Amino acid sequence: MKRVVITGAGTVNPLGHSVAETCAAMRDGFCGIGPLEIRDVARLQIRIGGQVKGFEAEGRFTRQQITLYDRFTQFTLVAAREAIAQSGLTFEGKLAARAGVVLGTAGGGVSTWDDNYRAVYAEGKNRVHPFVVPRLMNNAAAAHVSMEWNLKGPSYSVSSACASSNHAMAQAAMMIRSGMVLAMVTGGSDSMLCFGGVKAWEGLRVMSRDACRPFSANRDGMVQGEGAGIFVFEEYEHARARGAEILCEVAGFAMSSDASDIVMPSREGAARAMAGALADARLDSADVGYINAHGTGTAANDKTECAAVADVFGAHAERLMISSTKSMHGHLIGGTGAVELLACIMALRDGVIAPTIGYEQPDPDCALDVVPNVARDANVTVALSNAFAFGGMNAVIALRKI
Amino acid sequence: MSVKDQVIAIIAEQALLDPQDVTLDSTLESLGIDSMGVVESIFAIEEAFDITVPFNANAPQESDFDITSVASIIDGIERLRVQQAPA
C-alpha cells in the first residue's frame, strides 16, 4: 500500500484568501463572522455569517468565465491555484493521466439556483441564461479544476453534507494508496450565503443569531460560512523523488454511518469514525495531540462529540487539545473539513494550536481542553480532523508530521 | 376553530394521536414529540396564526416561548398575537 502526503494547500475562506492569511488569523483568534451583506437580508431572522469579503469575481476572471463559475467554483479555482503552485507539480503526459480531482460540496451552485428561481418565480421571467445548468451542477468546481490544470484521471464530486470534503479527501487518499493515481487535487467548497440558502437553514432553528461559541455552556447554535480548502495529495515516493516539500502525511482515515437519525448526531458513530482513523493509521490514541473538532456550536453536536472523544481516548482525552475553528470562520458546510484541515497542518508544522474563540462558560458536558480563546504553542505529531454530517455520515482524517 | 382547538389539532397531528387524547396539561414529551417534532409543530403554529415564534432548538428553555405543555403554548400564542398584531 502506498503512502499519501500533502504537498500543496490553498484556501479562500472568511479568515483569508490564502493559507498564510488564514493561519495568521487562526493564530490571532480573529473572528471572520459578521453581519451578512446579501440581498433581502432584512427578510431573514439570521443575519450573521462567515462571508468571504473583498472577493470580487470581476478582475479575477474573464466575463466568459464568470458566466460559468458560481461562487463555490470561484473559491475552488483560486484555492486550487495556490495549492497546485505550492506543490510544484505540472500535470502533463503520464502524470496528467494518473492525476484527478475529487472535491466535496453539499450544495454546489446554490446561489445560481437562488438567482434563477428568483428570476422565473419572483420576477416572472420566462428565460434564463443558457449556462445555468453547467454553472450550478455539483461537479462544476471539480470539472473546472480538471480543465484548468489538465488533470485527466478520475474526477468527480462527493456530497455528504457537512462531511463532504472529508469524504472527498478520504476518497483521494484511497486512490493514491491503491496505486490508481499518483496525485489528486482534493478538498471542498460551498457557498450558501444567499437569501434562499440562509432561509433554509433558518427553518431548522439551530442557527445562532449572534455568535458561534462551540463547547461554551451558553452556545446557542451554528453560524454558516462559505469558502474552499483545496489540497494536493501525492504518493509519498513520487513526492520524495522530485524533492517536493511535504506538508504532512495523510496517515489514515475512516468513515462511518450512524444509521439512526437524519439530524441528531450519534456518540457511537462519531467514536467509531475516530477509532477507525487511528486503527487505519496504525496509531495509538495517545499519539494524538490535537483534534480539530466538528464543533458546530449546537447543543447536540458539541456534547455528543466530547462524549465520543472520551470514549475513544479514555484518560488521554484529558491531555489532548481539541478546538473548533468554526468559532472563527463559521460552518463552511461541504467545504468545512478542508478549511479545518489547515488548522491540523498548522498544529503539525508550526506547533500552533488554533483556539476555540467565543468561549465564555465551561460546560460540564464538554469538559475537555478546548483551547479557549487564545492560540497555544505545542509540539504535536498527530492530529485528527472530525466531520460529522447530517444524515449520520462521519469522516475523520488522521494527519502525521513527517 | 378556537386557538386551543387549533393548537390541539396541530399537536395531535404531530403526535399521530386523536385530538381527544391531547389535553391542556399534556406535555410534548408525554405525547412522544421529539426535538424535530417540536420544530415542525412550531412551524405549523407560525403558519396557522401568522406569527413568528422566537424559538431556538439549541436552548428551548431559554426561548421566550414556553413549549412545556399545550396550555403554555396557547398562552404563548395569545401573547405573540397581541405583540405582533399589525398596527
Q: If you compute the radius of gyration of chain B from its CA atoms, what whole number of angstroms results?
A: 12
Distance CA B81, CA B63 (A): 17
Distances (CA, A) of A334 to A158, A354, A389, B47: 9, 21, 9, 31
**Per-residue pLDDT at B85:** 85
Predicted pLDDT at B60: 80
Whats the size of chain B, residue-wise? 87
Q: To the nearest 5 percent, what fractions of chain B are helix, strand and coil? A: 55, 0, 45
Residue in this structure with the C-alpha cell 483568534, named with its chain if needed: A29
Q: What pLDDT does B59 receive? A: 84
Rg (CA), chain A: 20
* Residues of A marked as catalytic: 162, 294, 331
Is ipTM beyond 0.90? no
d(CA A339, CA A12): 9
Contact call for A203 and B62, based on CB within 8 A: no
Among the listed residues B83, B55, B80, the one whose alpha carbon sits nearest the alpha carbon of residue B68: B55
Q: Is the pLDDT of residue B87 over 70?
A: no
For chain A, which ranges sit under pLDDT 50?
A: none
Which residues of chain A are within 8 Å of residue B55 when distances are taken between CB atoms? 205
Contact with chain A for residue B62, Cβ under 8 A: yes
Residue in A138, A135, A133 with CA at minimum distance from that of residue A159: A138
Nearest to B59 among A45, A203, A299 (CB): A299
Residues 6+ apart with CB under 8 A from A10: A18, A19, A78, A79, A80, A81, A82, A83, A84, A85, A86, A229, A230, A231
CB-based contact B58 A221, cutoff 8 Å: yes
pLDDT band of residue B62 (cuts 50, 70, 90) is: confident
Instruction: Tell me whether A206 touches chain B (CB under 8 Å).
Output: yes
Contacts of A203 in chain B (CB under 8 A): 43
Interface membership of B59 toward A (CB under 8 Å): yes
Among residues of chain B, what percentage have pLDDT more than 90? 78
Cβ contact (<8 Å) for A45 and B52?
A: yes
Q: Which three cell numbers stand for residue A46?
A: 439570521
Complete domains list, chain B, with CATH: 3-83 (1.10.1200.10)
Domains delineated in chain A: 4-241 (3.40.47.10), 252-400 (3.40.47.10)
Contact B58 A203 (CB under 8 A): no
Task: Kindly determine whether residue B58 and residue A208, on different chains, have CB atoms separated by under 8 Å.
Answer: yes
> Min CA distance, A58 vs chain B (Å)?
39
SS3 A311: helix
pLDDT of residue B64: 82
**Angstrom distance (rounded) from CA B18 to CA A402:** 64
In the predicted structure, residue B61 carries a pLDDT above the cut 80: no
In 3D space, the residue among A81, A71, A8 whose CA is nearest the CA of residue A335 turns out to be: A71
List, in order, residues 6 or more apart from B82 with CB less than 8 Å away: none
**Mutation target vs A (from B56, B62, B67; most A CBs, 10 A cutoff):** B56
pLDDT recorded at residue A150:
98
pLDDT tens-digit series, residues A32-78: 999 999 999 999 999 999 999 999 999 999 999 999 999 999 999 99
